[in-house]
Structure 1
Amino acid sequence: MQDTTLLQQALGIAPPWSVTRSDFDPVARRLDIHIDFAAGSRFACPTCAAAACPAYDTEQMTWRHLNFFQHQAYLHARVPRVRCAACGIRKIGVPWARADSGFTLLFEALIMTLVSAMPVNTVARMVGEHDTKLWRVLHHYVERARARTDLSALTRVAIDETAARRGHDYVTLFVDIDQARVAFVTEGKDASTVADFAADLTAHGGDPDAIAEVCIDMSPAFIKGTADSLPKAAVTFDRFHAVKIV
């Protein structure tokens, strides 16, 4: 079995794409895998899905992939723009990476798994990438998940602030008590954070008037924000802060 066949099977590359060659540099600790499509291949239009569009031109692209043992691995391919009779010239997507990303989907999955357990800077050092690239990946998937968030059943919320970093940079968290999940996070810790939550709640199918219970500390800002923006909610002061002042 040739190495290109093995790599093609391992990567899950399917026609019209195929692995054409690989270059391994043990000194640089790097594996480069080159992918191409067969001459005369046709592709679906990425806009209207019209089939059998011919390639118009190509752009050479590179993506960081999961490591090959302890060696960094990169995929290289020329990605075509196709000529669609209805849409004109359109650049297609590739099955191993999302548009405008320098990482493969599997590498992004690794990043998202790691950042759920440790700081982004730590992950960046582990994988040998600049943290700004990892933040772009994180923002993409968080924003995509947020767009699908349904808060229509939310009725009980816990609110608390925490320091986002050393100093006095705070964020306020709004937690769905029944689902034990974060519903919303915003900068600051004043009354306007509750107004921001109410607006976001409405944007995701919820109703501020449906919030029946809010658990907060004894912050005057949260008390005022709740009264102004969640007027139907009964307020419960959390036990930790209540006992602390006794």
Structure 2
Amino acid sequence: MINFIVCGLENTLLYENKNKIDDRTIELISELNANGVKFAVATGRNYDAVKPLFGNVKNDIVYICNDGGVVIYQDKVISKTPIDRLVCMEVVSEIEKNDKFIRRFKLLFSDERGAMTNTHDIDFINYLKNMGVEPEYIRDTKELNGDVNKITICARDGFDGETYEYFYNKWAGKAHVSISSPEQMYITGEYVTKGMAIALLQHVFNISQEDTVIFGGGYSDIDMFEHCFYSYAMQWSDAEVKRAAKHITENVNTILEDVMRM
């Protein structure tokens, strides 16, 4: 019996520049919860940016945030995996020592609930606000307090293969490095992925892969599909994402309604 549903946010519940989750989706999440089915959202965004999107079910779902770097349920942290502080300093140093990098890349640091940036660049700030992210400004990265669970490197003109490979080779031995969109690559703690967060939750709640449904739409969602029997890629996903899933759908709500009928 299906009792755990995990849904990506970017390119899944939010797509085509949508910044609001459908009311029907929220209704279905509420009905599923009432019938004992746990619902989790998996996202690259931080907790404070995501929770308000879910209206009256915001306290009932599990939040896999920062691409798996932190997991929160009922406002309590279940898991968080910080990035080595030396890696954080290396990333900052790598960007700041190269004039070309300074102009091209902007950094966002996420902790278990919020986000911080070391730039006042108005275009970048507006870009983040469009995703619901309201970062705190820090003048010096040495002022970072507590753990950093994710670093996002944002490229205004997108990442080419050569640049991604350069960054990947520089930190892949010390952290998890991946691409989430053409404009964003991210760094999390070593071995941290959305898929590993799902495996942890299945252990915590004693849920099997056979009873799990997962929806995804982006590259960072691919490894989630390894932890379920029922995997769905969104119809508009890139070919690589669709190949990784067992099924393709154009509407999450249709499948949620099927689960309810089951």
TM-score by length of 1: 0.23
If you compute each CA radius of gyration, which structure gives the higher value, 1 or 2? 1
Higher share of residues assigned helix: 2
* Greater relative contact order (Cα < 8 A, sep 6+): 2
| Structure with more strand by fraction | 1
- The TM-score, its normalising length taken from structure 2, stands at 0.22
